Structure 1
């Protein structure tokens, strides 16, 4: 599966789970870790955990093996590493505090796209 197709699938999964404020950032050539970051907010810790788990489950069903995930014990910020795509599912307070959009906007001139 091409990266662009996987991005669309992940966005659909998150939309179906009622993710809030979805932002995708192209960090190709700017990060040695990934090419794209998808950042979304949840309405509760349970919602954050459910969205992250749904992404993990659905991509596995597509035959994609996630590289890993972190943050399930707290639920404030769960990171799902899909290789070329890293998904950040965050509580609004954590998202505001870490402000990944601003951080990556300053390190790249690429447009931040909102879906």
Structure 2
């Protein structure tokens, strides 16, 4: 699957469960680790875990390779590693503390909605 298709699937999986403040960081020109980081917030540890599991289930449904998932036990910050895409799902206070958007700020692109054809990812 092409990385742009995978990105759309991940965004849809997060939006389906009402992820908040969805941001896509295009880092392919900066690091060889991944092409994109997708960051989203959940309102509680339960929602953070549900969002991450929804992305995990998506990978299984589409026979995609999941390289790893960490943080499901606490639900404060869950990282889903899909290789070309790293998905960070965090509670708002954790997200504010680590501020990945500021760290990678010049690459941040707000994700309005995948259905909004005028949005660029």
| TM-score, shorter chain, exceeding 0.5 | yes
Superposition map of 1:1-115 within 5 A: 1-105=1-105, 109-115=106-112
Report the RMSD for the aligned CA atoms in angstroms.
1.0
Runs of 5+ consecutive residues of structure 1 not aligned to the other structure:
none
CA distance in 2 between counterparts of 1:41 and 1:113 reads 13
Give the total of aligned pairs: 112
Post-superposition Cα deviations, 1:70-110, rounded to whole Å, max 9, x if no partner, equal 111111000000000000000000000000000001xxx44
Runs of 5+ consecutive residues of structure 2 not aligned to the other structure:
113-121
1:111 CA displacement: 4.8
User: Cα gap change, 1:79/1:67 in structure 2, threshold over 3 Å: closer, same or farther?
Assistant: same
TM-score by length of 1: 0.93
TM-score by length of 2: 0.88
Instruction: Find runs of 4+ consecutive structure 1 residues off by over 4 angstroms.
Output: none
